[in-house]
Amino acid sequence: MSHSIFCLTRALIAVIACSMDEATIRSKPRKVRIAPEDTLDAQIGYNLRRASALALNDFAVEMADASLRPVTYGMLALIDERPGIRAAELCRLLGMKSANMAPLLAELEERGLVERDDHARDKRVQVLALTKAAKAAMPAWRRQVRRHEDRFLQQLTKKERATLLRLLRLIWIEEE
């Protein structure tokens, strides 16, 4: 029985091969010799993007109940760490343009998480603070983010995590 299936499969392959025209045969992808350091999986940017996609997806799952995205969590965390921070300074620290931050601040204010106030000496400057509700929620949100990072980085040792953090900071922190 298995011999007849083998013969039938061979015959079918032969028929298919004969029916293919030269254009179809030529359109098959060719293997190109590429230096190992030039392959896609050897490129740092590609690997950063893949890791970032995993991190963002896991963050979204972890923080879904709080309806926080990485950018809004980052804003809240910095405002928590620096009460009275100016909006312009928050933009600078997060590497954002003020045009992009304005709607996010409005969203956080609407949700009752951030309060804006005029600077005591310069009414043109807005200072930011967390509301009582946001201050109360921040410790739980920080634990959730820690849980997310522990899960996301579970394959790394503490020493490897510290090295990764140090190397990533070398890329994006500007010289002061």
Each residue's pLDDT expressed in tens, for the chain with a length of 176 residues: 444 444 444 544 554 555 555 555 566 777 788 888 889 999 999 999 999 999 999 999 999 999 999 999 999 999 999 999 999 999 999 999 989 999 999 999 999 999 988 666 666 678 999 999 999 999 999 999 999 999 999 999 999 999 999 999 999 887 44
- Domains, the chain, ranges and CATH? 45-172 (1.10.10.10)
b/e map of 58-93 (b: 16 or more CB within 10 Å)? ebeebbeebebeeebbbbbbebbeeeebebeebbee
- What residue type is 78 in one-letter code? L
Q: Report yes or no: 128 and 87 within 8 Å, Cβ to Cβ.
A: yes
